[in-house]
Amino acid sequence: MPVMEQARTLLEKFRTARDGAIAVEFAMIAPIFLMMVFGIIMYGSYLAVVHGVQQLAAEAARSSVAGLSESERSTLANSYVTGNVNSYPLIDPAKLTVNAATSGSDANVFIVSVNYDASGMFIYSLPAFVPMPSSTIARSAAIPRGGY
C-alpha cells in the first residue's frame, strides 16, 4: 500500500472517530460550570451575611422600643446584637459594630446601624475575575417612638 493511500485512510479514520469527543467537550465546559457553581456558593454566603446583619439591625431596633431614655434604648439595642450574633454562624462577633441613636432629622425616630467588616471572608481571597462586593456591610433599621 503506497504511503499516500495509508495517510489518506489514517486521516479518514481520524476524521470519523468520535471516541474522545465527550472528554474534549467536558474539558471545555467543566471549568465554566465549576466557576459558576463556586460563584453561587461564594456569593450566597456573602448574601447570607448581608441578610444576617440586616436582621440583627431590625431586631435590635425593635427591642430598643422598650427603653425609656436614649441611653436605655441604645443599651437594649447593643445587648440584643451581642446576645444574638452567635445565632448567625457566618458572622464573626469581633468584627461587628453597633450604633444606636435618635435620628438627626426626626426626634421621634430611633435608628440602629450595624456595620460588619467582611474582609476576612473567603470570597475576598479568591482571584477577582468578577467584581467583588464591598467588604464593609452596613445596614440600619429605623423605628418610630410612639405614644408620646
Which range is most confident: 11-25, 46-60, 120-134?
A: 46-60
Model pLDDT, residue 1 = 62
pTM: 0.77
Model pLDDT, residue 50 = 96
Is 56 in contact with 84 (CB distance < 8 Å)?
yes
Range name among 14-18, 87-91, 132-136 with the lowest pLDDT average:
14-18
Tell me how far apart the 2 most distant CA atoms of the chain are, in Å: 106
Q: List the alpha helices (DSSP H) in the chain.
A: 3-16, 21-63, 70-84
Count Cβ atoms below 10 Å from residue 145 Cβ, excluding itself. Answer: 15
Domain locations along the chain: 3-144
Dump pLDDT digits (tens) for 55-67.
Answer: 999 999 999 988 8
List b or e across 13-50, with b for residues whose CB sees 16 or more CB atoms inside 10 angstroms: eeeeeeeeeeeeeeeeeeeeeeeeeeeeebeeebeebb
Dump pLDDT digits (tens) for 75-104.
Answer: 999 999 999 999 999 999 999 999 999 988
Using alpha carbons, select from 121, 105, 108, 114 the residue that is nearest to residue 137. Answer: 114
Task: Determine the average pLDDT of the residues in 121-144.
Answer: 85
pLDDT-above-90 percentage for the chain = 53
Name residue 137's amino acid.
I
Arithmetic mean of pLDDT over the chain: 88
pLDDT level of residue 147 (50, 70, 90 thresholds): very low
Dump pLDDT digits (tens) for 36-45.
Answer: 888 888 889 9
Q: Please indicate whether residue 21 or residue 138 has the higher confidence score (pLDDT).
A: 138
Q: How far apart are CA 136 and CA 49, in angstroms?
A: 11
Sign, CA torsion 121/122/126/130: negative
Rounded to 5 degrees, φ, ψ at 31 are: -60, -40
Q: How far apart are CA 72 and CA 82, in angstroms?
A: 15
